[in-house]
Amino acid sequence: MGETSKKDAIKLRPMTFFPPFIILCIIVAVSMVSQEHFLGMIDAINNAIIKNFGWAASMLALFITGVAAVAMFSKFGDVRIGGEDAKPEMSNFAWFTVALTTTMAAGVLFWGPAEPIAHYMSPPTEIYGIDPKTPEALKFSMETMFLHWTIVPYAIYTVPAVVFAFMYYNAKKPFSISSEMAPLLGRRAYRPMVMQIIDAITLFSIGAGMAGSVAQAFMNVAGGISKITGMPSDPRLWLMVGIIVGAVSIATAISGIQKAMTKISNINVYGFAIFLIFLLVFSNASFLFNLSTESLGGFAGTFIERILITGQSADSQWPQWWTTFYWFSWMSWAPTSGAFMGRIAYGRKVKHMLGMYIGVCATVSAVWMMLVSGTSLWIETSGAADLCASYTAGTENVAYDMLGALPLSAIVIPLFVILIFLSTVTACNSNMIAMAGISTRGISPDNPDAPNWLKFVWGVIPMAVGYIMIASVGVNGVKIIANFGGMFAALIMIGAAASLGILIVNHKKYDLTIEGAKDEIFGEIEK
């Protein structure tokens, strides 16, 4: 009887669930009815996004990074999440590993080796006057990897995390994405309709972001299978991989074996570390460190200029298909990841959150790019393998042709495939559960599980969209779907960044952990 009443207490939130569900289903349906109309539709929408809102994504990315830097050195930075007496629930190392695996997913395994080759082979000559396959292109390539994968993305993740953590633990507000915007919106943030709209936007953004992420993984795993077996990496193999990834992810999400998946996530961290050590030992360490040092200087010197580049003056689409794609891609994940990263920060000071996420995690990401991207460029420039040809043949080929040029490739390549698979499954598993939870009301610590059919739905739909995009458009399909999700998530990010600015100026009037404090802003929130 008790179990039944608990299940009955969980209700679907129609205004949250159906809008993103219907939009994603329309994408699937139109693609199946008429691929020609589908390609025309998504191309038109994507071009409109990057043409009309690319500048906004660039400005927002810079604003978010600036607000995070100010918060680090402000009095707000000394505020402890949960109040002065709050004690961290996790060790520093556990906090680090969880934070890293939350943000460092299969994307770095896909783009880490491939993206620098793209920039080396096809730099934006029309903007910077850099010719392909030159020393200048080599340096530009590494500078770009630091731009796209270090400080800025982690700032995008961290800003909503800080606001959420403070509002949830210190301001005693609901566990809702609305809390990331509450200082800006005030009491309006917790009106039922507003909360449902914000959560609906979040659901669509996560769904689109997840679609892009799994699409990368399908191609990456398929590339490894192709390298091992000789099977062509094509839509048929991508579909087979997608079915296996989807089945395992959905099964683990429904079965509730979360402890096992947590252990697998920890294994991933050690797998990443072993992989980096392997590259350091068997590549050219001198080349990697010298190129990275030089590129860090260029990255630091052109930081603001590169964040804000839109390509308009040179009539170039390079920034739109690369930098703008990344800003939107990170934003599509940020509201949900921010809530999780804020939740695990209990007992830490705000400046410690910023230091861990933007400092430590971004540094680890920089090291990843130094070793992985640097090795890819070294192999290309040394003539050990023609990775430019690999990229042209299929982006997913680059990582495996890079590893194939190194010793022990027969062992390393299968392990790399396993690492990608596990990273993808753990990411999908947690996202399905999160999306199912957002779609319902009645979730509580005593009743934490959403219905299994919702987990199934939020497993199948994003994966179907991801497969359709790469099967129809190729790797650019990943970028298109990321732009979709990121554009909507950007609305939440504007609110989160503005809210952090408000907390920097006057956080005390929101902090109910201070003795004698009263809630004079929100009052009693509607149930």
Q: What is the pLDDT of residue 445?
A: 47
Residue 408 has pLDDT above 70, yes or no: yes
Please state the pTM of the whole predicted model. Answer: 0.90
Backbone torsions φ then ψ of 86, nearest 5 degrees: -70, 135
Max distance between CA atoms of the chain, in angstroms, equals 72
Residue 304 makes CB contacts below 8 A (sequence gap 6+) with: 62
Q: In the beta sheet, which residues pair with residue 444? A: 447
What's the one-letter identity of residue 284? N
Cα gap 275→33, rounded to integer Å: 43
Q: What is the pLDDT of residue 1?
A: 44
Cα gap 523→186, rounded to integer Å: 10
Residue 427 has pLDDT above 90, yes or no: no
For 103-127, how does the pLDDT look when each residue is reduced to its tens digit (9 = 90+)? 666 678 889 999 999 999 999 999 9
DSSP collapsed to 3 states, 168-207:
HHHCCCCCCHHHHCHHHHHHHHHCHHHHHHHHHHHHHHHH
Per-residue pLDDT, averaged over 383-399, amounts to 94
Instruction: Determine whether 213 is exposed, middle or buried from the number of CB atoms within 10 Å of its CB (0-12, 13-18, 19+).
Output: buried
Answer whether 187's CB lies under 8 Å from 174's CB: no
Cα dihedral 420, 426, 429, 435 sign: negative
For 241-297, how does the pLDDT look when each residue is reduced to its tens digit (9 = 90+)? 999 999 998 888 887 655 556 667 677 788 889 999 999 999 999 999 999 999 999
Confidence band of 356 (pLDDT split at 50, 70, 90):
very high
Cα gap 88→165, rounded to integer Å: 13
Answer whether 387's CB lies under 8 Å from 402's CB: yes
For 156-201, how does the pLDDT look when each residue is reduced to its tens digit (9 = 90+)? 999 999 999 999 999 998 878 999 999 999 999 999 899 999 999 9
pLDDT, greater one: 55 or 268: 55
Q: What is the pLDDT of residue 101?
A: 72
Q: What is the pLDDT of residue 447?
A: 54
Q: Indicate the DSSP class of residue 51.
A: H
Residue 6 has pLDDT above 70, yes or no: no
pLDDT, greater one: 98 or 15: 15
Domain annotation for the chain: domains and CATH numbers: 46-507 (1.20.1740.10)
Per-residue pLDDT, averaged over 449-457, amounts to 88
DSSP 118-167: HHHHS--HHHH-PPTTSHHHHHHHHHHHHHHHSHHHHHHHHHHHHHHHII
